[in-house]
Structure 1
Amino acid sequence: MLPRLSAFEISQGGFSFENCQRNKDFEAQNGTLGFTSPTARKTGTTIVGLVFKDGVILGADRRATDDMVVADKNCFKIHYITDNIYCCGAGVAADAEYVTRLLSSQLTLHELSTGRPARVCTANRILKQLMYRYQGHVGASIIIGGIDLNGPHLNSVHPHGSTDRTLFTALGSGASAAIAVLEDQFKPNMTMEEGMQLVKDAITAGILCDLGSGSGVDLCVITRQGAKILRGYTDTVTSGKRQGSYRYARGTTAVLKESVIHYDLVEESVQQMDTE
């Protein structure tokens, strides 16, 4: 059971979910109070990551949505963690922004205390423990990519704290279309140019198949020499132009049967509207 805070207590920094148990109590008394808790809102994003021969490539679209409204057409979804680790965030934009800033500060303190660059597995462990602690109430799906002394690594962290370590992955509402492109065209030891093209194609597929994704592609290439952000790598993607005319001349489709019915007005009544 989550702890309840008194009205006289000062809440500490970080996420606070002391009202979760209160909302459950209200739901249990729904028959008398008529209370229903808010449902999850649909979010839209396509984020992709893959490991190539010399490092990791991360990519994301640039559209931020609020339910069915496009809130931002130039949103940046690739977040800085350390000099050798970056991540992409999908889901609730505020949650993704906050957890990545918190992770970045924790890893910076870790580097200062150990005197060594942070490892990708350390970032993955800190983030998944944080997400598991809040049991999915932090609505962020994160792809962590980076390179350390053990080579390039790519991890995906889901809102409930489960993680995957793969050579390529995609998250967000456009992930189904993006992962289809990745599974079809990915191969080990790809060059940087091949990897960038594949990430771009995967995100483009997500944009074309998902209304919540759009406005172009951003990329981040991480190698031993450092990270390079490619802001606005492509512009808004359209579904293409029609190749032919789809207008048909009158009479092209045959009329098999035609009938005309006339109705007579039997009674008519007029009612006066009360405007007082």
Structure 2
Amino acid sequence: MEDCGEHEGTSELKLGTTIIAVEFDGGVVMGSDSRVSAKEAVVNRVMNKLSQVHDKIYCALSGSAADAQTMAEIINYHLDVHSIEVGEDPLVHSAATLVKNMSYKYKEELSAHLIVGGWDRKAGGQVYATLNGILTRQPFAVGGSGSFYIYGYVDAEYKADMSREECQEFVINSLSLAMGRDGSSGGVAYLVTIDSETVEEKCILPAELPTFYDPDTIES
């Protein structure tokens, strides 16, 4: 995730982060790195990009930090109002639809990609990918610049019948791989596990992340 503007002489907006979410039977696991950069400078090493928008609904943020955080705050407000009006907790699909509508309406003004995940009484654990007005429910979703480094890994390692613990390991391993290869991803890893009973948040320090290769062993 980068909090930055357009580069001189080009309309390209640099984005950098790694976010991931995966469904298991009864809930979801979501994860992100914590690095925030402005162009080539790291401005925040420990930002939690997993934003709680309701009791059991989270958004994983990527893109412009300001845009993504603003979207999450607006979604949080609308879900709070909606839950008061209907007298019960909102559905995950409702949150994802709000993100989709906002992404499409302000696609020229906002640079943000949010993955929505959570648990509700109707459909259990759910993961939704949203981008520029597109909304799809997926068994798992990845986003951010670090995702390009791990598509092969997640496609090979994902299994439809993974347990809660296996999903947590899947997310941690994916983040560790992306953070080791993508210069815009790094810091600590944030993890949230949501099911019908609990919401468990965890911060994993760099020393506790799995290491898949040793740079000192690579010959020059």
Q: In the alignment, is residue 235 of structure 1 matched against residue 209 of structure 2?
A: no
1:209 alignment partner in structure 2: 181
Q: Which amino acid aligns with 1:178?
A: I
1:75 alignment partner in structure 2: 47
Report if aligned partners of 2:97, 2:135 keep a CA contact under 8 Å in 1: no
If the length of structure 1 is used for normalisation, what is the TM-score?
0.71
Per-residue deviation at 1:190? Answer: 1.3
Report if aligned partners of 2:23, 2:125 keep a CA contact under 8 Å in 1: yes
Question: What is the aligned-residue RMSD (CA, Å)?
Answer: 1.9
Structure 2 Cα separation of the partners of residues 161 and 226 of structure 1:
31
Structure 1 residue runs without a partner (length 5+)? 1-35, 247-276
- Give 2:58's match in structure 1, choosing from 74, 82, 86: 86
> Where does 1:1-276 land on structure 2 (aligned, <5 Å)?
39-149=11-121, 150-158=123-131, 160-231=132-203, 233-235=204-206, 240-243=214-217
Larger RCO (CA under 8 A, 6+ residues apart): 2
Structure 1 Cα separation of the partners of residues 150 and 193 of structure 2:
18
Structure 2 Cα separation of the partners of residues 98 and 244 of structure 1:
42
CA spacing shift, 1:245–1:162, aligned 2, 3 Å: closer
Per-residue deviation at 1:40? Answer: 3.4
Q: Which digits, 9 at most, give the CA deviation of each residue in 1:203-250, with x for residues without a partner?
A: 11211221100113110000111211102x23166752424887xxxx
Q: Which digits, 9 at most, give the CA deviation of each residue in 1:54-88, with x for residues without a partner?
A: 21000000111111111111111010111110111
Structure 2 Cα separation of the partners of residues 115 and 202 of structure 1:
38
Q: Which amino acid aligns with 1:74?
A: V
Structure 2 Cα separation of the partners of residues 197 and 127 of structure 1:
28
The number of residue pairs the alignment matches comes to 209
Secondary structure, counterpart of 2:145 in structure 1:
coil
Secondary structure, counterpart of 1:242 in structure 2:
helix
Report the structure number with the largest CA radius of gyration: 1
Q: Which amino acid aligns with 2:116?
A: I
Structure 2 Cα separation of the partners of residues 41 and 80 of structure 1:
26
Secondary structure, counterpart of 2:75 in structure 1:
helix
Report if aligned partners of 2:23, 2:140 keep a CA contact under 8 Å in 1: yes
- Percent identity, please: 25
Return the structure number with greater strand share. Answer: 2
Q: Which amino acid aligns with 2:99?
A: L
Report if aligned partners of 1:83, 1:226 keep a CA contact under 8 Å in 2: no
Per-residue deviation at 1:163? Answer: 2.0
- Give the 4+ runs in structure 1 shifted more than 4 A: 236-239
Return the structure number with greater helix share. Answer: 2
